[in-house]
Amino acid sequence: MYYSLKNNLKSNFRNAVSKGIAKDGSLFFPKKITKLDKNALESVKSLSNIEIGFLVMKDFIGDEIKNSDLIKILEKSISFEFNLVPLGNFYSFELFHGPTLAFKDVGASFLANSLNLFNSNNKKKSTIIVATSGDTGAAVAKSFFRMHKFNVVILYPKNKITKFQEEQITSLGENIYPIEIDGSFDDCQSLVKRLLIDHDVLKELNINSANSINIGRWLPQIIYYFIMFRELLNNNINEKLAISVPSGNFGNICAGIVANKMGLPVEKYIASTNINDTIPRFLVNQVYKPYKTKRTISNAMDVNDPSNFPRIMKLFNNNFKDLKNKFVSYSFKDKQTRDEILLNYNSFNYLLDPHGSVGLLGLKKFFDLEKKKYTGVFLETAHPIKFEKTIKSIINSPFGTSIKTNKRKINTISIINNFKILKEIILEI
């Protein structure tokens, strides 16, 4: 049902989820994306979140997970609200109401619970390794916490995530092992990719990744695009749709494009980025050239070599012109992100987080350039409380929230960006 993008290595769902990445070092991709027929698409209007999840995921899994188990997994991974909130002429689709307050909870929990099911008869523990630009680590840690068949190693870039995010990652302990790397997210990500295909590591450990390179994390993200569609239908909104997705590793927007291949009527996808702008530049000159990653206030998008972009190219059969028909990408500076947060706070008393702000900026730019009539939705991917210090400095006042910050001890290992040292630590765990 799946194949690797490099050497066309075949795999079923279970193996692809359990390995994370193919032996040739490339990403798995579904062999077939089944288009929902018109009736199924219309039925979404009256389905629950879990039923939508089932409809979306079933064909990607086939009979490798029993229906009753699939439903249990879905109940754990989409157990919270997704709200479509009008904001001026646009809509904010809020994905941050999960346990760690960012959209990553959906994919991370789906992956953890699928692996837990697959591993239930394994004697040996598995090691989950994940690189995080801020929110993935929290979601993965929370999802795997106290699943005793797993040790979870989380690599995060030193001084480049917020205090709140660091506390979420480092305060759990037990089977969660945070490691702070003196480098960027891209450094962390390349360490993960090397570990996953390293001979010594593979000999010693059942190792797997929980980044969106893993289809078990990537594909469930399709679900909330259909939940959004239900909300739009139920509000009688049926103009052409343009969706802006704040993008870093491009897993989320890539899932959105799969939703379109499955029949979700979306006219345009807008990949909104911060100044880490490899893809916006690529769309201008067709040259893929990552620069050194720069630090921004939308830190979960401080990525310059997005892992999922090959999948996006594949979805358009590597045809640049087809890609450009459906897909635009713009980048924004921190100053613009801040101004947009303040503007929406003052105009609508709505607090954007820095990522959602970039998403809204992308949507507005698209509307400025295109004169056609669209319904514009942006994904609000994290709760603003995760960026408390930044937000406070922008709106110049504290913001009331019932969410408690985690004040527990930070417990982490700190190392330089060095593969050999990391490998030694991981083999010791």
Residues with Cβ within 8 Å of 46's Cβ and at least 6 positions away in sequence, in order, are: none
Task: Provide the minimum distance between the beta carbon of 250 and ligand PLP in the complex, in angstroms, as a whole number.
Answer: 5
The residues in 84-113 that bind ligand PLP, with binding defined as CB under 6 A, are 102, 104
Interface residue with ligand PLP, options 142, 158, 311, 355 (CB under 6 A): 355
The answer to whether residue 225 forms part of the interface with ligand PLP (CB under 6 A) is no
Judged by CB, which is closer to ligand PLP: 119, or 272? 272
Sequence-distant (6+) residues with CB within 8 A of 402 are none
Nearer to ligand PLP by C-beta: 232 or 245? 245
Give the one residue of 247, 296, 304, 331 binding ligand PLP; rule: CB under 6 A.
247
Residue closer to ligand PLP (CB basis): 98 or 263: 98
- 242 touches ligand PLP by CB under 6 A: no
Q: How many residues bind ligand PLP (CB under 6 A)?
A: 17
377 forms beta bridges with 91, 243
Q: Contact between 251 and ligand PLP (CB under 6 A)?
A: yes
Nearer to ligand PLP, 73 or 255 (CB): 255
Among the listed residues 259, 381, 387, 391, the single contact to ligand PLP using CB under 6 A: 381
In this complex, which beta carbon is closest to ligand PLP, that of residue 65 or of residue 300? 300
The answer to the question of residue 301 lying near ligand PLP (CB under 6 A) is yes
CB of 206 to ligand PLP, least distance (A): 25
**Residues 127-146: x/- map of binding to ligand PLP (CB under 6 A)?**
-------xx-----------
- Among residues 23, 56, 46, which one has the least CA distance to residue 260? 56
Interaction of residue 249 with ligand PLP, rule CB under 6 A: yes
The residue whose two tokens read 């059969």 is 317
382 binds ligand PLP (CB under 6 A): yes
CB of 358 to ligand PLP, least distance (A): 8
Q: 């089944």: which residue's tokens?
A: 34
Residue 341 binds ligand PLP, judged by CB under 6 A: no
Q: Decide: is 212 part of the binding site for ligand PLP (CB under 6 A).
A: yes
Q: List interacting residues with ligand PLP (CB under 6 A).
A: 102, 104, 134-135, 212, 246-252, 300-301, 355, 381-382
